[in-house]
Structure 1
Amino acid sequence: MSDHSVDARQTSAEPGVLLRAFSALVSLLLPVAALLAVFAAAYTGRNLYITSFDVFPPEQWYLNPGYWLTYGHAVLPALFLVLSLINRRYGPGLTMSAVLISWLIAGGVFIWAVYTYGLSGVRSSLASLPVMANFAGALFAGQLLSVYLFDRLRGIPWWRAPFYAILWGGILYAGLFYVQMLMNSGAPVANRIAVILAIHAGWAFFGVLIYHLFRRLVRPLPGYGGA
């Protein structure tokens, strides 16, 4: 085979690789934007307290969730629903790429905020560095489990993969983050953990309904029977 034919084949292969890379990058735009939108919504609601469930008298204030439960807690589990929809459309590889890119962007925003407002300003707005590190590690672990479970369980029946991916991804995140944080804080633990787990269990059921509504809009990868 001549050198000319080898060079021609390599030249023709390069545009194909570039095209696939560009196509993957374009495909990542909406998933990454959706993940960051959930982060932004949870951050916006971090100081908006939910007092609708405060039914205990003032002397039992510690049983009411309204003094700590925020809309940020209620919104963040939507992240696992978004992961299930991304996984349905693109599969686990691109889903994990979207997760990593979203964390890189979040990390870039954090560095910018520290540079602009100082570390003390960021800590006063968010939390201490150990708590932020615990949160990031726990949430990333929950995302990993959610992506893995969806990929392993997708098929017939269609609801099984999103339900367990949302449920167990959220429970792993809550277990790793809240249990360790509350055990070291001296705050009432049992009722807080019960409320948080109830939120994630509720999102598993509610998320399946939302997932069902999006099934026709978000087409699945081939070979899974439409699941």
Structure 2
Amino acid sequence: MDRVPVSRPGPVSRFVTALIRLIFPVLALCAAFLLSFYLRDVPAPEFAALGQIDPLLDPSDWINQGFIVLPSVFFILNLSSRRYGAALTLTAAFIAWLVLAGGIFWANREGLIADFEEDVSPYALAASFTGAMAVGQLVNILLFDWLRGIPWWKAPFFAAFVGGTVFAVVFNTRPAMVWDAELGGRLAVEAGIHFTWALVQLLPTLMLRRTIRPLPGFGGA
């Protein structure tokens, strides 16, 4: 009996499928960034207790709730990488930046943002944040793709922790920063936040493993 040849999806079909798959990661990444921005002025006084361990670890002068929720970006990237792989997740991260930039441009044109440097951020700081976060995202995605497999927790944990820590180091060692003992304390606190996030996000990752399964070709993790 002759076998019926299986037709492969055409380029248009593959393009539409990729667009559909990009929707959730892009929206989730944008939501995480917007939430972090919205909470940037909300203090996090509970972290002042770190100053009792060492005064250099006291983050009262700079930490806010936006810092606390920002590592959720790497959790979202992990889920996308698990499901869709590195290529689509990199694309989603890039498109999310384009969407955010487009939203800022639109808001500025419509008068919703009167002055970018006053309402959003100084240009130099915004550029430093974007560059550092892009590097952290790249490290996160590539590391997850490299480590995915058994044990399942290795890729999401190390991708989130290393990606977040790389972001913190790159952002906090920009030329405008003073390299001193206080910078070391800040990096230690931020690394601790990313470590905690990397550890805690393993629970929802475990709970979602049956729901968010890798597509064919992306085994493990």
Q: TM-score range by the shorter chain?
A: 0.7 to 0.9
The CA distance in 2 between the partners of 1:81 and 1:179, in whole Å, is 24
Number of corresponding residues? 213
Of 58, 66, 69, 1:64 maps to 58
Aligned position for 1:129? 123
CA distance in 1, matches of 2:217, 2:112: 51
What is the aligned-residue identity percentage? 39
TM-score relative to the length of structure 2: 0.86
Larger Rg: 1
CA RMSD of aligned residues (A): 2.7
Q: Give how far 1:216 is off.
A: 1.0
Per-residue CA distance 1:93-134 (angstroms, 9 max, x = gap): 111110111011011122223333488622112221111101
Output the CA distance in 1 between the equivalents of 2:64 and 2:73.
Answer: 16
Matches within 5 A, 1:1-227: 16-55=10-49, 64-117=58-111, 121-180=115-174, 183-184=177-178, 188-222=182-216, 226-227=220-221
TM-score, normalised to structure 1, is 0.84
Q: Deviation per CA, 1:81-103, whole angstroms, max 9, x where unpaired?
A: 11010010011111111011101
2:148–2:220 Cα contact (<8 Å) kept: no
Residues 173 and 179 in structure 2, CA contact (< 8 A), matched pair in contact too: no
The structure in which a higher percent of residues are helix is: 1
SS of equivalent residue, structure 1 residue 199: helix
Gaps of 5+ in 1: 1-11
Distance in 1 between residues matched to 2:180 and 2:81, nearest whole Å: 39
Q: Contact 1:87 / 1:147 at 8 angstroms: preserved in 2?
A: yes
In the other structure, the counterpart of 2:4 is none
Query: Which residue does 2:3 correspond to in 1?
Result: none
For 2:14 and 2:50, locate their aligned partners in 1 and report how far apart those are by CA, in whole Å.
Answer: 58
Change (3 A) 1:67 1:105: same
Separation in structure 1 between the aligned mates of residue 132 and residue 144 of structure 2, nearest angstrom: 18
